[in-house]
A and B are shown apart, each in its own frame.
Chain A
Amino acid sequence: MGIFSHLNDDECIARAQRGEHAAFSELVARYQDRIYRFLVRLTRSQDDALELTQETFLSAYEALERWRPEARFTTWLFHIARNQAFDWLRRGKRVEFVALEEEDEISLPDPAPTPDAALETRQRFHGLEHALARLPTEHREILLLREIEEMSYEDIATVLDISLGTVKSRIARARTGLLEKMPR
């Protein structure tokens, strides 16, 4: 537990803006898992996702002066992460779908109690991850924000810089697309 764990995000940011690195470290500790899991599913690469997660926090630190309390830190951070991932994709480092790496599968915990049930659960997870990975990036990212990060339509609109109407229609198209790609 960090020395700033009792402070809320805004208070941590205010301290980080004054140069207290420990306050920024607290924010990193709070959000590193969420940013990483978002990026790992966008990039389909653990190493690149880790690198981009670091870059996201470094960019956030550099831009901290411009952060205003009206903006929620979470959406601001996801906006930076998403831009990092798209810049990375545009640079052509990884433009095609890459299957989930073997290590990813190994690292998934087994919530099922018996070996058969565990195998079935793993297959179901694997099928879903595979279908998700085959979605166009725009559909994948909006589903990740909505279903995994459980963001509101308003927050998604802020992260992706699109209108509420576009959020609504894109989520519907992404869901339809994912259902079509799901194993039956």
Chain B
Amino acid sequence: MTCPPTEELSAYADHMLEPGERALLERHLQGCRTCQRQLTELGALQQALRALPSPAPGIDLASRLEGRLRPRPQRRQPRNWLGDWTGWVPTGLAAGMALASGVWLGGLLLSGAATSTRPAAMVRVFDPVPPGGLCAATELCRMTKGMP
């Protein structure tokens, strides 16, 4: 009877064998006291190691490290075209609305200017010669003729 290598027994103890290999090994174990003993030793070793008390540092490393951590530079967000587009939507909307309101206000002003052309009578109030008066200086009276 050929015994499997220790590697197989060790992997068996760790439940790391494929189902086929496992079945084969279990068949062998039924009739081999040497391998049974070796497997028992491996199991006992595992248990002993896992039972070892853990040495602990006994200090709060986090607070000790706190002063040694450098400030981390702000991470750039990964580029994402969809993200970029959605990022621009509020800005675009705001710009569009500003433009539209500007055009609207400008239009209002322009149309208001067209309709509020000063009537001739208003201007004539500032004529040097009151309506129906005689012109004292012909140069001045000539100037006002061109006025609305």
Number of B residues with CB within 8 Å of any CB on chain A: 38
Flag if A19 contacts B41 (CB, 8 Å).
Answer: no
B contact residues around A129 at 8 Å (CB): 52
Q: Are B52 and A125 in contact (CB under 8 A)?
A: yes
Report the separation of the CA atoms of residues A87 and B12 in the bound assembly, to the nearest whole angstrom: 34
Provide the residues of chain B in CB contact with A104, threshold 8 Å: 55
Whether B74 pairs with A36 at a CB distance below 8 angstroms is no
Complex Cα–Cα for A59 and B45 (A): 34
User: What CA separation (Å) do A184 and B37 show in the bound complex?
Assistant: 15
Report chain A residues within 8 Å CB of B36.
none
**A159 contacts B by Cβ under 8 Å:** no
Residues in B with CB closer than 8 Å to A138 are: none
B57 at the interface (CB under 8 A from A): yes
**8 Å CB interface, A142-184 against B:** 143, 146-148, 150, 153, 168-169, 171-173, 175-176, 178-179, 182
A24 contact from B48, B54, B69, B71, Cβ within 8 A: B69
Q: Is B26 an interface residue (CB 8 A)?
A: no
How far is A150 from B15 in the complex, measured between Cα atoms in Å? 13
B39-54 interface with A by 8 A CB criterion: 41-42, 45-46, 48-50, 52-54
Check A32 against B7 for contact (C-beta < 8 Å): no
Cβ of A168 and Cβ of B10 under 8 Å apart? Answer: yes
Which residues of A sit under 8 angstroms from B10, Cβ to Cβ? 168, 171-172, 175
Determine whether the beta carbon of A148 is less than 8 Å from that of B55: no
9 contacts between A and B (CB under 8 A): A17-B72, A18-B72, A28-B61, A32-B61, A49-B57, A61-B69, A150-B50, A172-B7, A175-B10
Q: Give 6 closest A-B pairs by Cβ, nearest first.
A: A172-B10, A25-B62, A147-B49, A19-B72, A28-B62, A172-B7
Residues of A within 8 A of B (CB): 16-19, 21, 24-26, 28-29, 32-33, 36-37, 40-41, 46, 49-50, 53-54, 57-58, 61-62, 64-65, 104, 107-109, 111, 124-125, 128-129, 132, 143, 146-148, 150, 153, 168-169, 171-173, 175-176, 178-179, 182
